[in-house]
Amino acid sequence: MSERQPDAAELRALTQELLAAHPPATTEALDFLKARFDAGLAWVHYPVGLGGLGAPRSLQPVVDAELAAAGAPDNDPRRIGIGLGMAAPTVLKYGTEEQKRRFLRPLWVGEEVWCQLFSEPGAGSDLAALGTRAVREGDTWVVNGQKVWTSSAHLARWAILIARTDPDLPKHQGISYFICDMSDPGVEVRPLRQITGEAEFNEVFLTDVRIPDAHRLGAVGEGWKVAQTTLMNERVSIGGMRLPREGGMIGSVAKTWRERPELRTHDLHQRLLTLWVEAEVARLTGERLRQQLVAGQPGPEGSGMKLAFARLNQEISGLEVELLGQEGLLYSDWTMRRPELVDFTGRDAGYRYLRSKGNSIEGGTSEVLLNIVAERVLGLPAEPRNDKDIAWKDLAR
């Protein structure tokens, strides 16, 4: 193939070649996904040799539509969402060629699940205050500390990790970014039971975990800069997910409204109409944001999308509980389990109402995201930060 970007017709032809060589009906799903990656049809905007063809991101739906029509398997993107939405863009931007070739293929095909070791009990909203330490011993870093609110840690093979490598520097400057092996004997994963009864989150204890320097992303001390790529992609992946009209929670409420006329009241009707319009505005804004991603990395606009996602989910789930009356108080499956996926639409209203409370915390609290939107989108003056130039070791804790 020439160095010029392939167009839609060429991508269709390449997809048909893949299907002819690996018929989905007779090819094992994992083998098909590996062949798709090797053909450059995994994420077409990635470089050649890394699952892509250097094509515009906007052409990915062309490939996806051809494969869906042929009944080809997908890579179960919800199960590996942290890897796809957060780890992969960071590895692509800051990883060495060896790191890219080692991690991206098994990540995309779903052989290796990823999690995110960022937040700590004393460093959530103020993530840069984190205290997990990484001390260098030759070509290895020894890591000790605790992380919290870690989705999929009980399933993960790898984790993206930020740790403090120089306590003598101000908090944003003394952080480095690593890829952590979750099978290391020093990694302990404990479940965190939520208000839903489940434990999809975890707390992770790191005791003398040894990470080779070859698994560091970016330069020593530039972990905060690298983490910004992860965080911006995370907020886009949470708040800007692609949905059809009436997709997500608003679809469940609208379905109940149509099928249960005895539940309707004028007040609830007005609220439903308002939320339906807001959900549709958010959906279309998400489409626009994804179009902007074609030109480069996500910006602070993703924080605005994530803000809207959290508020809408909470208001819509609250409306659904009110609409159902006594039925809305039921939660039929309050059991302790370790789910692989968060399923908002396949559960009852009680689950959705409880689970949506976490939307304003995960992926950045709404309060922090409001500051980001104010400063970086609206251009308002930044809040005073008295600890910006103080060594981390000297900060009051």
Per-residue confidence band for 224, with pLDDT thresholds at 50, 70 and 90? very high
Angle at 312 between CA 311 and CA 317, to 5 degrees: 105
Joined tokens for residue 256? 């109940």
**C-alpha distances in angstroms, 114 versus 111, 257, 337?**
10, 39, 20
Do 324 and 275 form a contact (C-beta atoms < 8 A)?
Answer: no
**C-alpha distances in angstroms, 276 versus 252, 273, 280?**
11, 5, 6
Per-residue confidence band for 387, with pLDDT thresholds at 50, 70 and 90? confident
Residues 59-106: tens digit of each pLDDT? 999 999 999 999 999 999 989 999 998 999 999 999 999 999 999 999
To the nearest whole percent, how much of the chain has pLDDT over 70?
92
Q: Which residue has the tokens 């996926």?
A: 341
CATH code that applies to domain 227-377: 1.20.140.10
In the three-class reduction of DSSP (H, G, I as helix; E, B as strand; rest coil), residue 260 is classed as coil
Do 356 and 314 form a contact (C-beta atoms < 8 A)?
Answer: yes
The sign of the CA dihedral 222, 227, 228, 233 is positive
What is the set of active-site residues?
A: 234
Per-residue confidence band for 1, with pLDDT thresholds at 50, 70 and 90? very low
Phi, psi for residue 198 in degrees, rounded to 5:
-90, 175
pLDDT at 337: 76
Burial tier of 326 (Cβ tally within 10 Å: 0-12, 13-18, 19+): exposed
Per-residue confidence band for 2, with pLDDT thresholds at 50, 70 and 90? very low
**C-alpha distances in angstroms, 11 versus 62, 69, 216?**
7, 15, 35
Residues 142-175: tens digit of each pLDDT? 999 999 999 899 999 999 999 999 999 999 999 9
pLDDT at 369: 83
Average predicted confidence (pLDDT) for the chain: 89
Residues 272-323: tens digit of each pLDDT? 999 999 999 988 887 777 666 655 555 677 777 888 889 999 999 999 999 9
Residues 22-70: tens digit of each pLDDT? 999 999 999 999 999 999 999 999 999 999 999 988 899 999 999 999 9
Fold classified for 83-221: Butyryl-CoA Dehydrogenase, subunit A; domain 2 (2.40.110)
DSSP letter, residue 384:
P
In the three-class reduction of DSSP (H, G, I as helix; E, B as strand; rest coil), residue 189 is classed as strand
Q: Supply the pTM of this predicted model.
A: 0.86
Strand partners, 143: 134, 209
Domain residue ranges in the chain:
8-74, 83-221, 227-377
- What's the whole-number mean pLDDT along residues 258-265? 93
Which residues make Cβ contacts (< 8 Å) with residue 330, sequence separation at least 6? 348, 349, 350
